[in-house]
Structure 1
Amino acid sequence: MRDSVQLNLRRSRQKGFTLIELMVVVVILAVLVSIATLTFTPNDSVKLNQQTLAFKGALQQTCDEAIFTQKIQALVPSKKGSHLYALQQGKWQIVSSVKPLIWLPGMSVDWQVAERPSAQAELPSPGWLCWPTGEILPGSVTFQLGQQKTKMSWTPLLKFTVTQENAIVN
C-alpha cells in the first residue's frame, strides 16, 4: 500500500508534457505551416490576373486624367511597364504624380497599338491616346507567365474583353 501511495504522490507532482507529446505537436505545427505556405504562394494564373487588373486600372486612370484635366493623355507601354504621358507646353511629359505600372517579374508582354495616331500625336513611342471625352484608342495586351496566357482587349469606350488560355510551347 505504501508503494502505491508513493507512486500516486510522484504522479501528482509531475508537471509538463512528455517528449513524445511535444514531438507530436511539433509535427502537427510543421504540417500546418507547410500547408499555409503553399496556400498563400500565388500561382501563375493569379499573377496574370493581378497584372491584367493593374493594366486595366492604368487604362481607366489614363482616361480619368484626360477627362479631369480636359487634355489628351497617353498610356505608353515599354519592356519594363507603362507610363502615363500628358501633353505639356507642346511636349509629351511623363506624369510624375502617377506611379508607373511595372510588369511583374518573368512576365512576357505583347501589345497591339495603332502606330499611326501615336506618330501623328508625336508620342515618344507608340501608345494609347485618351481624349477629354473619355474615348481611348482601341487595342489589346497579351500577358504570358509560364504556361498561362491572358489577352485583354478594349473598345474606344473602355469595354474590356479578357480571355485566358494555356500557352503552347514548342
Structure 2
Amino acid sequence: MTCCPRQRGFTLIEIMIVVLIVGLSAGIATLAFAPDDTSRLEEAADKFMLQAEFVAEQTALTGEVIGLFIRPTSSREGTQWCYQWRRFRNSAWQPVSDFLPDQCFATDMEIEMIVEGEAYEYDERETTPQPVLIFYPSGESTRLELALFARFDSEEVQRIEVDMMGDIRWLNREQELADREAEL
C-alpha cells in the first residue's frame, strides 16, 4: 500500500530568496550602468523646484500667502546663499513648517535673480527684508527669474522662472526635452 505521492515544488521561503537575489542583482546592475550626468547645480535646482511646487500647492490648499526669502550668509568655507520659505500670518512672516527647513546652496554656487523685472541685490542694511517671491492662494505669484551657477566655472547655468500665474518652469529641462524631440 502506497501513501500519497510526495509533492515536489518550492517553498515560499525559497521563492522569496530567489526574488530577493534577482532584485538585488537588478539594482546593482542599474547602479553600475546608470549615467551620473546630474550635476550638483542640477540637484540644487531640482530641490528648489520641488520646494517651490510644494509651496505653490500649499498656498492654494491652506489659503495662506507664502514668500521666499534669500540672503547670503558667511561660513568658514565662504559666502553661501540660503533661502527660507515663510508664511504671512498675524501681520508677520513666520516659518512655514518643519517640512520646509531653511536651505543653503553650496558655497561654490552663486545666484542671480530678477524680481518683478528688476535685478535683485541683497541689502544687508534693510531692517525688514522682503520676499523675492510670493505665492498667493489665488494661484498667482510675483515674477522671479533665478540663475544658479558655479562661482568658479560659469559654463553651466541652471535657470528657473516663475511667472505671475504661479507657473514654475525649469528652463534647462524644457530645453533638454525640446532638443531630444528635435533629434527624433
Q: State the TM-score, normalized to the length of structure 1.
A: 0.59
Q: Deviations over 1:52-103 (max 9, x none)?
A: 1111112112212212221111112222221111112111112242212211
C-alpha displacement of 1:130: 0.6
SS of residue in 2 equivalent to 1:144: strand
Distance between the aligned counterparts of 2:87 and 2:168, measured in 1? Answer: 23
The equivalent of 2:49 in structure 1 is 56
- As a proportion of its length, which structure holds more helix? 1
The equivalent of 1:137 in structure 2 is 142
What do you get for the CA RMSD once the two structures are aligned? 3.1
Q: Give structure 2 stretches of 5+ with no counterpart.
A: 1-31, 73-80, 119-127, 174-184
Distance between the aligned counterparts of 1:89 and 1:141, measured in 2? Answer: 29
Paired letter, 1:124 = P
Instruction: Give the direction of change, closer, same or farther, for the CA distance of 1:115–1:125 in structure 2 (3 Å limit).
Output: farther
Distance between the aligned counterparts of 1:46 and 1:95, measured in 2? Answer: 29
Q: State the TM-score, normalized to the length of structure 2.
A: 0.55
Q: Is the 1:73–1:84 contact (alpha carbons within 8 Å) kept by the matching residues of 2?
A: yes
- Structure 1 runs (4+) greater than 4 angstroms displaced: none
Distance between the aligned counterparts of 2:141 and 2:131, measured in 1? Answer: 14
Q: Is the 1:114–1:139 contact (alpha carbons within 8 Å) kept by the matching residues of 2?
A: yes
Distance between the aligned counterparts of 2:62 and 2:90, measured in 1? Answer: 14
Distance between the aligned counterparts of 1:60 and 1:159, measured in 2? Answer: 7
Q: Is the 2:82–2:102 contact (alpha carbons within 8 Å) kept by the matching residues of 1?
A: yes
Percent identity (aligned) = 13
Distance between the aligned counterparts of 2:97 and 2:169, measured in 1? Answer: 27
Q: Which has the larger radius of gyration?
A: 1
Aligned residues: 122
Q: Is the 2:49–2:168 contact (alpha carbons within 8 Å) kept by the matching residues of 1?
A: no
